[in-house]
């Protein structure tokens, strides 16, 4: 890997780094960038690196070692302004303050840079105000915006930015990063990489056992254990679980997601596919179930869960009843 890619220290997104690094080297940068992609994919990290690269005084920007790189990395550079949604919205007052600050000369950096995170949360008035800055940006200013998806963002904003659409990163790349950066054991790197859905930030947080990701991992383990005991439970045991699960409505979407992913893995194995299972820590039991049930029964189990997920998401069906039916449709393993 060439030096400039390494300096950016990103997991995946080589094409985006190459494009931005070339623009900076050639002195042909744009006034505004919009980084899009799912949460945890690397938008905020890329925004920070790009901000460092714009203001780096080292040889291979972002060098990570000069004063601007250090201050920006710690989030304390006086010329860098970051705005993020408060209670899921970015208001016009915030954008006005930002504009006033952007109009000042940089205190010490080459560029004053505004990073506006999750611009899909701009109120209409705030979006109009931001648009004015995008149309006539101060000379020494740069704007870096992020959003979940370009489509979710106001078209007039999108059209005034260079859009960098970050895609999910291949699991193998995340796996390598987890083992080299965090020295995780191989099985754990593989599992987290596959569960991450291509989002390195999610995988790193889960590996460092922080926040929501860790809670979700624990929930996943419990829900898969539940599924395995249900497959061995009789009718009465299943009805009792349905009653209990119906009372935990906020967890149901996750339960249905995790169970679908688990059955998809069984189906892949039952059909002899060479695709790697998502649930990398479950391969033994997945194989056992695939061999016991075969692909027809596995497919109908997957359908039972998928149909229930659709019903619950799109209709007013009685939750308890839908779960009863779903659990009674699952195969019995003894």
For residue 105, the minimal CB distance to Zn ion (Å) is 21
Which is nearer to Zn ion, 73 or 197 (by Cβ)? Answer: 73
Answer yes or no: are the C-beta atoms of 297 and 331 closer than 8 Å. Answer: yes
Which is nearer to Zn ion, 50 or 261 (by Cβ)? Answer: 50
Q: Which residues have a Cβ under 8 Å from the Cβ of 270 and sit 6 or more positions away?
A: 290, 291, 293, 294, 295, 298
**Of 212, 185, 187, which is closest to residue 199 (Cα–Cα)?**
212
Count residues binding Zn ion (CB under 5 A). Answer: 5
Which is nearer to Zn ion, 61 or 201 (by Cβ)? Answer: 61
Residue written as tokens 């799912």? 38
- Retrieve residue 47's tokens: 């925004």
What is the distance between the alpha carbons of residues 49 and 148, in angstroms, rounded to a whole number?
19
66 is an interface residue for Zn ion by CB under 5 A: yes
For residue 32, the minimal CB distance to Zn ion (Å) is 22
Q: Which stretch binds Zn ion (CB under 5 A): 50-58, 134-142, 160-168, 317-325?
A: 50-58
Task: Please pick, from the candidates 69, 130, 145, 301, the single residue that binds Zn ion as defined by CB under 5 A.
Answer: 69
254 is an interface residue for Zn ion by CB under 5 A: no
Answer yes or no: are the C-beta atoms of 280 and 194 closer than 8 Å. Answer: yes
Cα–Cα distances (Å) from 136 to 78, 91, 93, 147, in that order, read 23, 20, 19, 21
58 is an interface residue for Zn ion by CB under 5 A: yes
DSSP-derived secondary structure for 153-175: S-HHHHTTSEEEEPPPPPHHHHH
Q: Which stretch binds Zn ion (CB under 5 A): 52-60, 106-114, 138-146, 305-313?
A: 52-60
Q: Which stretch binds Zn ion (CB under 5 A): 68-76, 172-180, 205-213, 278-286?
A: 68-76
For residue 19, the minimal CB distance to Zn ion (Å) is 19
63 is an interface residue for Zn ion by CB under 5 A: yes
Which is nearer to Zn ion, 10 or 119 (by Cβ)? Answer: 10
What is the distance between the alpha carbons of residues 85 and 151, in angstroms, rounded to a whole number?
19
For residue 247, the minimal CB distance to Zn ion (Å) is 55
Which is nearer to Zn ion, 10 or 178 (by Cβ)? Answer: 10
Helix (H, G, I), strand (E, B), or coil: what is residue 325? helix
Q: Which residues have a Cβ under 8 Å from the Cβ of 315 and sit 6 or more positions away?
A: none
Which is nearer to Zn ion, 40 or 68 (by Cβ)? Answer: 68
What is the distance between the alpha carbons of residues 163 and 107, in angstroms, rounded to a whole number?
28
For residue 126, the minimal CB distance to Zn ion (Å) is 32
For residue 110, the minimal CB distance to Zn ion (Å) is 11
73 is an interface residue for Zn ion by CB under 5 A: no
For residue 136, the minimal CB distance to Zn ion (Å) is 29
Across the beta sheet with 112-116, what order do the strands follow? 80-83, 112-116, 141-147, 32-36, 162-165
Q: Which residues bind Zn ion (CB under 5 A)?
A: 56, 58, 63, 66, 69
């Amino acid at each position: 890997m060439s030096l400039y890619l390494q300096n950016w220290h990103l997991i995946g997104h080589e094409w985006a780094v190459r494009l931005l690094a070339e623009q900076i080297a050639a002195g042909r940068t744009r006034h505004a960038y919009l980084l899009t992609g799912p949460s945890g994919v690397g938008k905020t990290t890329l925004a920070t690196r790009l901000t460092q690269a714009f203001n780096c005084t080292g040889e291979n920007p972002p060098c990570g070692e000069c004063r601007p790189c250090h201050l920006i990395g710690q989030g304390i550079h006086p010329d860098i302004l970051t705005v993020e949604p408060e209670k899921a919205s970015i208001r016009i007052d915030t954008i006005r303050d930002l504009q006033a600050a952007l109009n000042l000369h940089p205190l010490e950096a080459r560029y004053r840079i505004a990073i506006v995170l999750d611009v899909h949360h701009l109120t209409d008035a705030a979006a109009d105000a931001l648009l004015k800055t995008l149309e006539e940006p101060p000379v020494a200013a740069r704007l870096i915006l992020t959003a979940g998806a370009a489509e979710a963002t106001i078209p007039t904003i999108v059209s005034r930015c260079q859009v960098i659409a970050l895609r999910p990163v291949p699991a193998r790349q995340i796996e390598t990063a987890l083992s080299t950066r965090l020295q995780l054991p191989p099985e754990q790197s593989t599992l987290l990489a596959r569960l991450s859905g291509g989002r390195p930030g999610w995988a790193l947080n889960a590996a460092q056992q922080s926040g929501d990701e860790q809670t979700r991992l624990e929930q996943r383990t419990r829900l898969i254990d539940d599924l395995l005991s249900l497959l061995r439970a009789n009718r009465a045991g299943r009805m009792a679980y349905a009653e209990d699960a119906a009372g935990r409505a906020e967890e149901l979407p996750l339960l249905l997601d995790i169970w679908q992913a688990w059955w998809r893995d069984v189906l892949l194995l039952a059909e002899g596919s060479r695709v790697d299972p998502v649930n990398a820590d479950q391969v033994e039991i997945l194989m056992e179930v695939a061999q016991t049930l075969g692909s027809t029964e596995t497919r109908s189990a997957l359908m039972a869960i998928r149909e229930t997920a659709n019903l619950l998401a799109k209709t007013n069906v009685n939750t308890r009843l839908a779960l009863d039916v779903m659990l009674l449709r699952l195969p019995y393993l003894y």
